[in-house]
Structure 1
Amino acid sequence: MQLLWTQLPSVPDAEGFASPFAGIGNDALLVGGGANFPAKRPWEGGTKIWYDTVFALPSPDGAWRVAGRLPRPCAYGISVTHGGGVICAGGGDAREHFRDVYKLKWNGGELAVETLPALPRPCAFSSGALVGDVFYLAGGIEAPDSTRAMHTFWALDLTRTATGWRELPPWPGRERMLAVAAGRQKGAGQGGEFYLFSGVALRSGANGRPEREPLLADGHAYDIGAGVWRRVADMAPRVAAAAATPAPVAPDGSVLVCTGDDGTKSHLNGHPSHPGFPRDVLAYKPDADKWEIAGKTPFSRATVPTVEWHGKWIVVNGERLPGYRSPDVWALEIR
């Protein structure tokens, strides 16, 4: 497997955004919302700001333009592309997390927002992916001050949205947020699978505020046809939280975990010696149930969305270091 990275035009914001929504509408790349620290960093007393601007890039060699606005400022939700638009689910702001689900549609000159059935509960920092026509969403946290992550698994059939979200059996492991998720369709008539790897569990700290536990390593696969979970190989040689999501899937079916936080440098947050997040790409091989290192990224990222566009996987903005975002947009070609 060969991983080829190229850079696309940067989003027109000096700082860039953590965890915006991203997807394809009318063959344009749409990026909306997200959060950043536009002035001081958090350890300097800076204030995080949430955004509602939606940008559009009509072609990989085009120029960004403002397409419109989200219904409200939002970040840390999950987005997928389906039916010519971008399905956006959950997320939140400084005060609350949302149940909102909507579809962004772009005709080249005007952005339209179509309301879809709300989530069963508010959530942000969840993990999700599309398998066929069904949008699957796992875990997250219900409120900004939650001291326990969610152990929920929901599905919305995007061809029959009036039926609403279905609650499915959750994976047989710890509750979590910021896990790695991916969807993979098998051959014709063979169904598909939803994968969930690593992530973060929470506990209540001494002051009653949420505190992260050591990152999880376990992996799980949900067989769409059978409706059952199975345990798969633990992530190795490292774990990953907030990696590029949904995780790219290679033509051979490998799930690629691009960068993400392995939790080993958190003691350096805010220190100039912080090296950034790991830059390796881990590949999970479903048929062999094993992990291997597939290559490197030219960047360090966490809380970053992906979208498939023009035969490549696009990695949009995200955190380059704790407290620092990036406006960069990268394209991955898998050979």
Structure 2
Amino acid sequence: MSLTLTASAADLQWSPLPALPDARGFAGSFAGVVDGTLMVAGGTHFIDKMPWEGGTKVWYDTLFALEKPDGAWRVVGKLPKLNGYGVSITTPAGWIVLGGGNATEHFREVFWVQKAGQLPPLPKPCAFMCGCESDGVIYISGGIETPAATTALSTFWSLDLKQSDAKWQELPHCPGKPRILACMAAVNGVVHLFSGAALHAGKDGKPEREWLNNAWAYEPATGWKKLPDMPRVAVAAPNPAPVIDGKIYILGGDDGANVNFEPKEKHPGFPRSVLVFDVKTQTWSQAGEVPFSLVTTNAVRWQDQIVIPGGEARPGVRSPQVWIGTIK
């Protein structure tokens, strides 16, 4: 869901939950809630060397479950495939995993986790996209079709879960540049799209990023409109972005300032500042900092709190830490 919470104050008090039972942790994993239980699945990490040393990224399918905040994580199953970097959304009807991929291919599959029932596949294979749910409709934007793609998809799709025979609809594309690793949130039926990175082929033929700080809003009745630019870039911030009292919270994200930092093993991590977009006034502000540096991860509503389950702490380095934010 769009993680809308009711609060008298907009500040969050963060504390650690039990860490995931893997010393390295995962980036690009999926997370959601099934029958009140918090779950995390899939993702990647490096087990031998860092990527700049020629390390191999390993993909996972393990499904972990945490039944209560003071409990312990258990392994309760597996995803259908080794998978990461797709979208996961918790709805009133259950937890859905959409797309993603591995080292050699990206996926179209869309499925309920630990629940029977079929959902139509995405129109194209897709990973590194963003998504959210609004009024029973899932929205998916951007991403890339293959692991080696040098341009991002401009696609904007919707699936109405209220219709038993629903099919994916292709909606008008965002007027901004096609992007990966953006962040989305829905407030009062309006879908918001933030930051991300555009792609182009570099001199070596490999994808290079253009860091984006623009923001957009889509209303089904009227289409897209441009919002005020963000105070900074926030690529791969936890998705979907939490919404509190009509304000959208962008929790950290990579601003690209240290993309060429050397030595790489001393990278300071990603920004921790919290950017807040007030939907009513259409203005940006800042609301302190989070105690973690985590990107390519999820924001999950659980027990009326916000959970950030692991992610990438700095380039090549994952974290097993799980954080929960409580409204002060």
Q: Same fold (TM over 0.5)?
A: yes
* Contact persistence 1:55–1:66 (CA under 8 A): yes
Distance 1:275 1:161, change over 3 A: farther
Q: When the two structures are superposed, what TM-score results if normalisation uses the length of structure 2?
A: 0.94
Distance 1:94 1:113, change over 3 A: farther
Q: How does 1:9-158 map to 2 (within 5 A)?
A: 9-105=18-114, 112=115, 114-158=117-161
* Contact persistence 2:30–2:297 (CA under 8 A): no
Letter in 1 for 2:185: A
User: Which residue number in structure 1 is paired with residue 306 of structure 2?
Assistant: 313
Q: When the two structures are superposed, what TM-score results if normalisation uses the length of structure 1?
A: 0.92
User: How many Å separate the matches in 2 of 1:174 and 1:334?
Assistant: 35
**Shift, 1:218, TM fit:** 1.1
* Contact persistence 1:104–1:114 (CA under 8 A): no
SS in 2 for 1:317: strand
Kindly report structure 1 stretches of 4+ aligned residues shifted beyond 4 Å.
none
Structure 2, gaps ≥5 residues long: 1-9
User: How many Å separate the matches in 2 of 1:170 and 1:272?
Assistant: 39
Higher relative contact order, chain-length normalized (CA < 8 Å, sep 6+): 2
**Shift, 1:113, TM fit:** 5.8
User: Which residue number in structure 2 is paired with residue 180 of structure 1?
Assistant: 183
**Shift, 1:273, TM fit:** 2.9
SS in 2 for 1:43: helix
User: How many Å separate the matches in 2 of 1:43 and 1:249?
Assistant: 37
Q: Residue 290 of structure 2: which of 282, 290, 297 is its match? A: 297
Identity of aligned residues (%): 48
Larger mean CA deviation between 158-167 and 60-69 belongs to 158-167
* Contact persistence 1:270–1:322 (CA under 8 A): no
User: How many Å separate the matches in 2 of 1:34 and 1:325?
Assistant: 10
Q: Deviations over 1:103-160 (max 9, x none)?
A: 002xxxxxx5644100000110001011121111000011111111010100111222
Distance 1:287 1:298, change over 3 A: same
Find out whether 1:322 has 2:315 as its counterpart.
Answer: yes
Letter in 2 for 1:92: G
Aligned length, in residue pairs: 319
* Contact persistence 1:318–1:325 (CA under 8 A): yes
Find out whether 1:218 has 2:225 as its counterpart.
Answer: no
User: How many Å separate the matches in 1 of 2:31 and 2:263?
Assistant: 28
SS in 2 for 1:272: helix
**Shift, 1:3, TM fit:** 1.6
Letter in 2 for 1:55: F
- Alignment RMSD (CA, Å): 1.3
Letter in 2 for 1:93: N
